[in-house]
């Protein structure tokens, strides 16, 4: 029963009791009671009466049991039993909760503020920590190394070089390393910058004749985190300055973390002496996320936005979107769509958005439907004629459905158009196929590999 209701009933009982007993007795005993619970078992109510102390409990129970029972029966209109317990009145508790934490226990918060301040000083974007970094076999090595670096900066792996494609989590790992370094020692002097910012700083320094200030800024750091280091490639003055900064930092026991899209060996226009120095440390590649990792990322991102998505829907999203950033974008889209339409997040909604797709603004070489057709034929080793024919055996229908899925999601062809290409089929057939493959992609490893294989062969 709702709590207002129990409160209401109890107030009624107390009001009536007030009439029968003296004010002193009422304020000493009755006002110290409340109704904690009201249960109904077989046409009888069981009322749990909470008393503020054992004295109240024994007195009320031994002396006013009948009185309370009478009034309660009148209020409820049914028979009822009483159970007495010692329990503080709930509103008294709320007072203490409202009070702010005492200074001694507030520290955590102070520390957090402090951390936020130093984070912004170090130009580290908050929100990227090891806690919200999902790990699987594709990035395990990089993650373990980053953790080791954050635990013993300057000694574990120096320099620490990460490379990998777009959106695989390199920068996240680097920021998390910085975050954790600062958390361990709030006073450590750390700076996060991109290769481009480093370049701009030097140019600024040279133009304003403040190269000394630049050197002071970079060479006294405890840890320097440089994102997209490949941008200094081919810029001689910048490379020289970076070389000296690098030496000064390493000499003083500072930690250097670098991120690039290629391994140092592939940075063709990088000076030899820099390359050899980069190669002296630990070089780790971060591979694109696999399906399980994408699921984990989807979960984390959804949680960060404060929504819960059921596991099967997570699988659909992770199975159909390949990069972490796209997943994030998709979730934003999903939430705003759900809010706009005031509907819940359902499989249909996800299918709809997947159809519209995220790749709309992407510049991509679009293969023609025919190319897809031949790619699918080649991949599954089936004849074109059979694929477009009437046969409904699985070895043929499955590739056909994959083809429809690809035409629909990759080329955004209208349903009818897809139907026309696949040997003049009805648009509902296409709808069914797209739906089926979307579903399979979330569950079946084989299907995912097939789709990836076909995409790659184009």
**Interface contacts to other proteins, rule CB under 8 A:** 23-25, 27-29, 53-59, 62, 85-88, 92-93, 95-96, 99, 101-105, 107, 110, 114
Q: Which is nearer to other proteins, 56 or 284 (CB)?
A: 56
Parallel/antiparallel/unpaired status of strands 44-51 and 33-41: antiparallel
Burial 163-202 (b: 16+ CB within 10 A, else e): bbeebbbbbbbbbbbbbbbbbeeeebbbbbbbbebbbebb
Q: Which is nearer to other proteins, 185 or 208 (CB)?
A: 185
Q: Which is nearer to other proteins, 29 or 214 (CB)?
A: 29
Least gap, CB of 153 to other proteins (angstroms) = 17
CA separation for the pair 37, 9 (Å, rounded): 11
CA separation for the pair 99, 310 (Å, rounded): 37
Q: Which is nearer to other proteins, 76 or 89 (CB)?
A: 89
Q: Which is nearer to other proteins, 131 or 360 (CB)?
A: 131
Q: How far is CA 98 from CA 4, 93, 106, 251, in A?
A: 21, 9, 14, 53
Alpha carbons within 13 angstroms on the beta-carbon side of residue 282 total 19
Least gap, CB of 53 to other proteins (angstroms) = 5
Q: Which is nearer to other proteins, 29 or 231 (CB)?
A: 29
Neighbours of 372 (CB within 10 A): 22
Q: Which is nearer to other proteins, 83 or 445 (CB)?
A: 83
Least gap, CB of 63 to other proteins (angstroms) = 9
Structure tokens at 317: 């999203």
CA separation for the pair 172, 126 (Å, rounded): 10
Least gap, CB of 94 to other proteins (angstroms) = 11
Helix/strand/coil for 450 = helix
- By CB atoms closer than 10 A (0-12, 13-18, 19+), residue 108 is exposed
264, 279 contact by CB (below 8 A)? yes
- By CB atoms closer than 10 A (0-12, 13-18, 19+), residue 294 is buried
Q: Which is nearer to other proteins, 77 or 99 (CB)?
A: 99
- By CB atoms closer than 10 A (0-12, 13-18, 19+), residue 454 is buried
Structure tokens at 324: 């972490």
Structure tokens at 314: 């997570």
Q: Which is nearer to other proteins, 58 or 276 (CB)?
A: 58
CA separation for the pair 254, 281 (Å, rounded): 13
Q: Which is nearer to other proteins, 29 or 133 (CB)?
A: 29
Least gap, CB of 106 to other proteins (angstroms) = 8
Q: Which is nearer to other proteins, 58 or 446 (CB)?
A: 58
Least gap, CB of 222 to other proteins (angstroms) = 14
Q: How far is CA 238 from CA 214, 260, 279, in A?
A: 12, 16, 19
Least gap, CB of 118 to other proteins (angstroms) = 13
Q: Say which DSSP state 288 is in.
A: P
Least gap, CB of 195 to other proteins (angstroms) = 34
Least gap, CB of 249 to other proteins (angstroms) = 21
CA separation for the pair 445, 319 (Å, rounded): 9
- By CB atoms closer than 10 A (0-12, 13-18, 19+), residue 385 is exposed
Least gap, CB of 84 to other proteins (angstroms) = 10
337, 353 contact by CB (below 8 A)? yes
Least gap, CB of 29 to other proteins (angstroms) = 8
Q: Which is nearer to other proteins, 92 or 361 (CB)?
A: 92
Least gap, CB of 346 to other proteins (angstroms) = 40
């Amino acid at each position: 029963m709702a709590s207002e209701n129990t409160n209401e009933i109890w107030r009624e009982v107390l009001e009536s009791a007030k009439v029968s007993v003296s004010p002193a007795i009422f304020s000493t005993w009755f006002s110290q009671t409340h109704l904690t619970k009201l249960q109904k078992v077989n046409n009888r109510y069981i009322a749990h009466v909470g008393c503020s102390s054992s004295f109240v409990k024994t007195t009320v129970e031994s002396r006013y049991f009948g009185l309370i029972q009478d009034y309660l029966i009148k209020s409820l209109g049914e028979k009822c039993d009483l159970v007495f317990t010692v329990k503080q009145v709930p509103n008294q508790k709320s007072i203490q909760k409202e009070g702010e934490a005492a200074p001694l226990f507030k520290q955590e918060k102070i520390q957090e503020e402090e951390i936020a301040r130093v984070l912004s000083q170090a130009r580290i974007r908050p929100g990227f920590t090891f806690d919200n970094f999902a790990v699987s076999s594709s990035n395990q090595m990089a993650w373990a190394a980053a953790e080791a670096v954050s635990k013993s900066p300057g000694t574990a792996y120096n320099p620490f070089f990460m490379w990998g494609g777009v959106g695989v989590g390199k920068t996240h790992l680097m920021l998390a390393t910085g975050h954790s370094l600062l958390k361990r020692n709030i006073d450590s002097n750390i700076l996060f910058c991109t290769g481009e910012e480093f370049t701009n700083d030097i140019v600024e320094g040279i133009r304003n004749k403040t190269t000394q200030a630049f050197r002071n800024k970079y060479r006294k750091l405890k840890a320097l985190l440089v994102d997209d280091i490949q941008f200094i490639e081919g810029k001689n003055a910048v490379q020289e300055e970076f070389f000296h900064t690098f030496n000064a930092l390493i000499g003083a026991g500072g930690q250097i973390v670098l991120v690039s899209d290629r391994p140092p060996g592939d940075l063709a226009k990088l000076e030899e002496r820099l390359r050899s120095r980069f190669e002296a440390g630990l070089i780790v590649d971060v591979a694109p996320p696999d399906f399980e990792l994408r699921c984990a990322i989807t979960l984390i991102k959804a949680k960060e936005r404060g929504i819960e998505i059921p596991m099967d829907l997570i699988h659909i999203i992770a199975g159909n979107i390949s990069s972490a950033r796209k997943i994030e974008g998709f979730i934003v889209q999903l939430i705003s769509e759900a809010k706009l339409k005031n509907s819940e997040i359902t499989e249909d909604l996800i299918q709809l958005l997947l159809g519209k797709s995220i790749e709309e603004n992407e510049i991509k070489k679009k293969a023609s439907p025919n190319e897809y057709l031949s790619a699918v034929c080649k991949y599954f080793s089936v004849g074109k004629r059979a694929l477009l024919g009437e046969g409904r055996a699985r070895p043929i229908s499955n590739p056909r459905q994959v083809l429809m899925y690809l035409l629909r999601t990759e080329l955004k062809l209208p349903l009818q158009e897809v139907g026309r290409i696949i040997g003049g089929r009805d648009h509902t057939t296409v709808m069914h196929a797209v739906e089926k493959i979307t579903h399979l992609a979330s569950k079946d490893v084989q299907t995912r590999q097939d789709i990836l294989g076909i995409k790659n062969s184009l």
